[in-house]
Structure 1
């Protein structure tokens, strides 16, 4: 059976696509039924083709053409049924034998149809025309129709309502990674050669759970092999779009595989390396099936010697072996295509690049912290090499060496990448195109990294503002003439002419202006040096495991220092030593007696009472000011209006960070110590933070993965590695080159 869809479309050119899909699926199901040992005995070709004939005539088909199609299909299926029944009489049904390798030995035992079905774990769910059939409902299309109906109901009632959808859509979703992966990415043994992997979705709307629309009549175009940076303000719906794509809630062809790095993996006893290997569910299942088939073929060889060479039993075994060997060849071809033999070395290389040592790659996943499990999720995605890789703020979980490795890896990634990020340097290195999500639409900046997008967008907004202002001036000029001479008999015709001109003018929307955000850290009073010094400091959480050894550091009021290095090298520990939250095993930390330090912790949210508003929390934590003073202070960090009075649990991650920055300023610190200050901040917030740190009159020490903010703010790069802390002789870009050179020497960064 081939070209069923073409035959249906030729018989009924005007058929609705959904009806055509149903008809083709039904015919294909009947065709498949002829190959099943149980269903082949029950299938009635004449009855099925009469049903299809009536369906196509009702769908607008001409009866003569539909009858011709029905006759042709009837003949093809009847012949196919006879051939398959003849083979089944000799061979029996081998399609499910791998589920029980002892089935052949038991073939002479008597059992009824129901017990045979139970043995083979067969299941059916919809009864039709007196026999059991599998459900062929296309749930994606059903969801689409349900959304349309819900939208119509909401429009009719002029409000958002909860529409009761089909029960088929309310089936329990599995949390099992393998099942979800195979559901989203079904393995196809057919050749995908010639099938385009470009994605084009036109005129779609996208809503979040409460019915709020985030995209309206939008179009998404992703060319295969391009790397897209998805940018926009916090809360605009970027992550929601990625999630809709990852679950195929938007119409993406089935032959395009998708993987989304969204959350950390669950820890268990699986070693990290094996966890990455298992992430490629296709490879994992194919290897398992290969093992079962090989085992069964070996068993067949042993069974053959028990029967005469000309016996039916040997013929059955030979037929089964022929089928198994053909399937085994398909599996081997698929494994060769995905370069299965190189899998372990490639997985180890990816893990090493993301900061996992050779020793830690063999540790159980449950032994890693949440941040490291997020890295494992990223490693699993890179290892799978999906056609569409979706990354949501990947740099938030990585240090500078790992981000450098990831950017280098993605530059040679052969498929499509869609990444949400506010890290300018990362997007400049990775993105070939930028998609700007705003105002319920998507704007494309093709051939742009972040910097070129930003400048192009600024120019575009200037042109839009100029055009808008010119039109408004022209409208005002026409309106003044109309108002003055509308009822003047001598000028009435000219007034009417201008009215018509005014009506024909296109209505321009005023260009949107991103609201300017500014941070301001208060100027501290002067201190005489020394301000903050580390002298020959050695620290370890136990004497036999030294993390930092013989560290020397001098912080002044004009210092701008960035600490870099891999995770676990002691950067945050060093900050805690300076804050006197930890005590050194050896050496001294000298602080000016009047020194005040403002500390921004990476997990600052843990110190906040999110059930309070920002104003209430600050008044409790830093008492002594009026609510109006707290609101004014919060406003200088972008928390203005009612935001300061809302419960902080309702604020976005970036807004909570702004509250934390506002709070650390209340003590008027001389030195700012910042641990990953750029996390969660959008582009505007990052710009505001960089400007504020540049203008701050005190000293700054920061641990950050954001190359852009380090480059703007910091004049010194200090590196933590191999239990040492030393000043790097160069800027952050030189440090990145140093990292890549070391990775090249280790054979980690290479073209994949």
Structure 2
């Protein structure tokens, strides 16, 4: 049948010739097909294998069209009613066939030209199987395991009295007490039988090692999975604001729901009055709205919002931009500004300094010191923790201890408390040993049996003290490298601009040696990351020269790289995919040098905390054995102990280091040269970080 075959050729022009010839042979015999399903069974499955399962519907439609053509071309396919019995003998006689041509009317052989060539069929099926196997193997190679995110759960014992008071709305206190609660992440228990009290108006810092559950606890509180009185408003700053047509200043103002409601009511009443509506109550209602607006000082709201945005780095021109014009980091700042402006009863902040420059961090510290409601913040900025909190919650060993004072007071008190606990434990162990010696000595002495029994009872009544579990210190180990001669990287009178007239740098001269420890600081948007990319060689100077040692191997770390890690694989597999052909022990050893060991190295990256992911990124960077580091905000999400270990590792490293950071403690630990970006220049601050901080504080005071 030429027409159906031509239809198949037009619909699927790319199918193999062997398959087409097979289809052509099948369609040559029309008496076998009575329904569309017959056609599909004959050629449909073969075509689906050839063109892909996603085109099954198109193949079925084609089979229907082929069947319609066959019916039209062969009227014999139509069923006819027999008017008389059929005589088979007579039919055989009428066929006029020789005896050797037919054995029986039931076994008449079909014309050889209508038979399917078995060799062609085998060849077509073999080719199809080869293509199918190839497609399956490709799919297996490209298919990645799904991200398995375990759910965090919380449980808590709540008294009937507290439930009843909360249900009736009788309790109006804004103090928060969460008693006897547990928090788990999947099968892993993070917090067990803990109790915390948050007094209204105090500022709390939640501290602890990476991966212990600080962020999970904040999320449980924000979702009210843990009981918090319903009248207490909670705001958790986690996600950036949505980028749309709303200008930044208006985005902050609109989070004040009461003010927005009153302003909308005012517009509605004024519109009704302007339309000439005669209602004596309208004037009264408008007066009431004005009174409420005056009571909440609505006229001062734009100025307050502008001050907050300005403190977080938004100049007047930026405040009038639409939110969709900002990057993710700036939209996160807008989310922080909205939280500060709305001032909820309980504000939860998770690493608020990560997206801020030094000027914004100092402003935020000063702003939060005067915070009027309850604040609970997770931060690893040591200086921030010394300035802002009035209390510290220490998460460790599945429990939470509370301390009065800032982070420095917490450390002093914790160390003293641990020493006292250790002394008490040692004294009890010594006393137990002395009593046990007496018991063992006179256990079988009848005269002293009563005394021995009293000693045994005394030991049973002693409180069971546990030894102090000291947190193991994390040691980060960078690769051992050989020193290179003198200056290894040099920028000579470099200018850079992204477009004509948009100059970022002019006449930058910077020389880096193998013993350099250069820290680059400056406000966001002054070109710090751009400067790093010029040093790295990713960007070419518009003018001037970048000179580097031919043996220089640069390791580049940025939070952007952390976010781009394949979250579907485990750390060991991540290193194996980048550096193939090494023993598994090498990958485990490399990860172990950054504190990613044991089961942690085999967990899916998506299940790790932010600090643990950063340590995996460090191990990936160092697997290439670089002799020079360029680090862009390496402390984001790292806990305080890991930041200190990072500083010590940088100090021991034999190669050169250039880093951008706003972590004051790390800068003071490692920095020997401080370079400041600003006003299209990069210059060395001779007085170091102390002079730079004084300069920034003066700028903040001048702006107020």
Superposition TM-score tier, normalisation by shorter sequence = 0.7 to 0.9
SS, match of residue 664 in structure 1: helix
- 1:237 counterpart residue number: 213
- 2:255 counterpart residue number: 279
- 2:198 counterpart residue number: 222
C-alpha distance in structure 1 between counterparts of 2:451 and 2:250, whole Å:
82
Q: Check 1:218–1:289 CA distance in 2 against 1; reply closer, same or farther (3 A cut).
A: farther
SS, match of residue 603 in structure 1: helix
C-alpha distance in structure 1 between counterparts of 2:401 and 2:372, whole Å:
24
Give unpaired runs (5+ residues) of structure 2. Answer: 1-152, 159-165
TM-score by length of structure 2 reads 0.72
2:495 corresponds to 1:547 = no
Shift of 1:572: 0.9
- 1:127 counterpart residue number: none
8 Å contact from structure 2 (residues 155, 181) kept in 1: no
Cα distance per residue 1:30-86 (max 9 Å; x no partner): xxxxxxxxxxxxxxxxxxxxxxxxxxxxxxxxxxxxxxxxxxxxxxxxxxxxxxxxx
- For residue 579 of structure 1, the aligned residue among 532, 536, 539 is 536
- For residue 393 of structure 2, the aligned residue among 430, 435, 438 is 435
- 1:587-666 equivalence runs, <5 A: 587-623=544-580, 625-666=582-623
8 Å contact from structure 2 (residues 207, 380) kept in 1: yes
SS, match of residue 537 in structure 1: strand
8 Å contact from structure 2 (residues 442, 452) kept in 1: yes
Shift of 1:575: 0.8
SS, match of residue 407 in structure 1: helix
SS, match of residue 396 in structure 1: coil
SS, match of residue 225 in structure 1: coil
8 Å contact from structure 1 (residues 648, 656) kept in 2: yes
C-alpha distance in structure 2 between counterparts of 1:742 and 1:647, whole Å:
45
- 1:324 counterpart residue number: 285
- For residue 405 of structure 1, the aligned residue among 363, 366, 370 is 363
SS, match of residue 259 in structure 1: strand
- For residue 433 of structure 2, the aligned residue among 467, 476, 480 is 476
2:463 corresponds to 1:502 = no
Cα distance per residue 1:662-685 (max 9 Å; x no partner): 232233333211011101111221
Identify which range, 421-430 or 642-651, moves more after superposition.
642-651
SS, match of residue 738 in structure 1: helix
SS, match of residue 634 in structure 2: coil
C-alpha distance in structure 2 between counterparts of 1:605 and 1:322, whole Å:
59
- 1:132-211 equivalence runs, <5 A: 198-208=174-184, 210=186
2:248 corresponds to 1:290 = no
Shift of 1:238: 2.2
- For residue 725 of structure 1, the aligned residue among 666, 669, 682 is 682
Q: Check 1:441–1:289 CA distance in 2 against 1; reply closer, same or farther (3 A cut).
A: farther
C-alpha distance in structure 2 between counterparts of 1:303 and 1:631, whole Å:
78
Cα distance per residue 1:87-132 (max 9 Å; x no partner): xxxxxxxxxxxxxxxxxxxxxxxxxxxxxxxxxxxxxxxxxxxxxx
- 1:536 counterpart residue number: 493
Cα distance per residue 1:528-557 (max 9 Å; x no partner): 122111111111222231212211111112
Shift of 1:506: 0.4
Q: Check 1:297–1:148 CA distance in 2 against 1; reply closer, same or farther (3 A cut).
A: farther
Q: Check 1:245–1:717 CA distance in 2 against 1; reply closer, same or farther (3 A cut).
A: same
8 Å contact from structure 1 (residues 228, 418) kept in 2: yes
- 2:415 counterpart residue number: 458
C-alpha distance in structure 1 between counterparts of 2:369 and 2:624, whole Å:
45
Greater C-alpha radius of gyration: 2
- For residue 566 of structure 1, the aligned residue among 523, 526, 535 is 523
8 Å contact from structure 2 (residues 527, 677) kept in 1: yes
- 1:226-265 equivalence runs, <5 A: 226-253=202-229, 256-265=232-241
C-alpha distance in structure 2 between counterparts of 1:698 and 1:548, whole Å:
27
8 Å contact from structure 1 (residues 717, 731) kept in 2: yes
Q: CA RMSD in A?
A: 2.8
SS, match of residue 353 in structure 2: helix
C-alpha distance in structure 2 between counterparts of 1:475 and 1:360, whole Å:
70
- 1:680 counterpart residue number: 637
SS, match of residue 695 in structure 2: helix
Q: Check 1:400–1:550 CA distance in 2 against 1; reply closer, same or farther (3 A cut).
A: same
C-alpha distance in structure 1 between counterparts of 2:689 and 2:523, whole Å:
14
Q: Check 1:385–1:148 CA distance in 2 against 1; reply closer, same or farther (3 A cut).
A: closer
Q: Check 1:411–1:606 CA distance in 2 against 1; reply closer, same or farther (3 A cut).
A: closer
Shift of 1:730: 2.2
Cα distance per residue 1:391-436 (max 9 Å; x no partner): 1110112122211221121122233221111111111121122111
- 1:268 counterpart residue number: 244
C-alpha distance in structure 1 between counterparts of 2:574 and 2:298, whole Å:
55
Cα distance per residue 1:237-273 (max 9 Å; x no partner): 3223323433444454555443221211111111111
Q: Check 1:197–1:687 CA distance in 2 against 1; reply closer, same or farther (3 A cut).
A: farther
Shift of 1:148: 6.6
Give unpaired runs (5+ residues) of structure 1. Answer: 1-143, 150-183, 305-316, 748-752
- 1:365 counterpart residue number: 323
C-alpha distance in structure 2 between counterparts of 1:339 and 1:455, whole Å:
44
8 Å contact from structure 2 (residues 154, 220) kept in 1: no
TM-score by length of structure 1 reads 0.68
C-alpha distance in structure 1 between counterparts of 2:247 and 2:225, whole Å:
33
- For residue 703 of structure 1, the aligned residue among 651, 656, 660 is 660
C-alpha distance in structure 1 between counterparts of 2:500 and 2:154, whole Å:
66
Cα distance per residue 1:282-305 (max 9 Å; x no partner): 211121123324445666xx555x
Cα distance per residue 1:15-41 (max 9 Å; x no partner): xxxxxxxxxxxxxxxxxxxxxxxxxxx
SS, match of residue 394 in structure 1: coil
SS, match of residue 491 in structure 1: helix
- For residue 693 of structure 2, the aligned residue among 720, 723, 736 is 736
C-alpha distance in structure 2 between counterparts of 1:730 and 1:338, whole Å:
47
8 Å contact from structure 2 (residues 204, 392) kept in 1: yes
- 1:18-29 equivalence runs, <5 A: none
- 2:90 counterpart residue number: none
8 Å contact from structure 1 (residues 205, 213) kept in 2: no
Q: Check 1:694–1:452 CA distance in 2 against 1; reply closer, same or farther (3 A cut).
A: farther
Q: Check 1:255–1:360 CA distance in 2 against 1; reply closer, same or farther (3 A cut).
A: same
C-alpha distance in structure 1 between counterparts of 2:394 and 2:435, whole Å:
36
Shift of 1:625: 4.1
Q: Check 1:363–1:418 CA distance in 2 against 1; reply closer, same or farther (3 A cut).
A: same
C-alpha distance in structure 1 between counterparts of 2:381 and 2:292, whole Å:
38
Shift of 1:458: 1.8
SS, match of residue 386 in structure 1: coil
SS, match of residue 684 in structure 1: helix
Q: Check 1:196–1:429 CA distance in 2 against 1; reply closer, same or farther (3 A cut).
A: farther
8 Å contact from structure 1 (residues 199, 252) kept in 2: no
8 Å contact from structure 2 (residues 233, 346) kept in 1: yes
- For residue 348 of structure 1, the aligned residue among 299, 306, 326 is 306
2:375 corresponds to 1:414 = no
